[in-house]
Amino acid sequence: MLLLAAALIREQEHGTIEHLLVMPLSPVEIMLGMVLTTLVGLVAQFVPLLLVIMPMILLSGVFTPAESVPEALQWLMVILPMRYYEELSVAVLFRDASAAVLGRELLLMALIGAAAFAVSLLRFRQHFSAVGSG
C-alpha cells in the first residue's frame, strides 16, 4: 500500500493520475492509496508520513501492551486503527474467536476506515473538479 501511495503522489505531481486509473488495480486498491495520499501532496512529504506510520505501529499494542505505555500516550492508542486490528488478530489467532465476539473491534475499524475513506473520496472529487474547471 505504501508503494501505491508513492505512485499516486508521483502521478499527482506530474498531472498524469488518469494513467493510474487505467492500470490493473481495483478501485479498492486505488482508494486505499488515496487514503494515504490525501495526507501528502508531494513525494518529499511522503517520508515524514512514514514517521507517522511507524509510531502508529509501535503504539498498536503489538510490541508493548497498552497497560505498559505511559498514560499520556494511552489516549492516543484509542484512536489508532492498528490497535483494534492487533486485538482482533490476537483473538482470532490465539483464542479462535468468532465474528460475534469481535464485533467491537470490527465496528471501530470500520468506523475509522469509513471516515478515512470519506475524506479521501471528498478530496479526490475536489481534485478532479478543480482540474475540470481550471
134, pLDDT greater than 60: no
Radius of gyration of the chain (CA): 17
pTM of the predicted model as reported, rounded to 2 decimal places: 0.49
Predicted pLDDT at 118: 92
pLDDT tens digits along 48-95: 767 777 788 888 888 888 888 888 888 888 777 788 888 888 888 888
Mean pLDDT for 125-131 is 81
User: 68-82 burial by CB neighbour count: b if 16+ within 10 A, else e?
Assistant: eeeeeeeeebeebbb
- 101-123 residue pLDDT tens: 778 888 888 888 899 889 988 98
pLDDT score, position 18: 67
Domains of the chain, by residue range, sit at 1-50, 59-134
Query: Which region holds residue 61: left if phi is over 0, alpha if psi is between -120 and 50, else beta?
Result: left
pLDDT tens sequence across 1-52 = 566 666 667 766 666 666 666 777 777 777 767 676 666 556 666 677 677 7
Q: What is the rounded distance in angstroms from the CA atom of residue 48 to the CA atom of residue 46? A: 6
Residues in the chain: 134
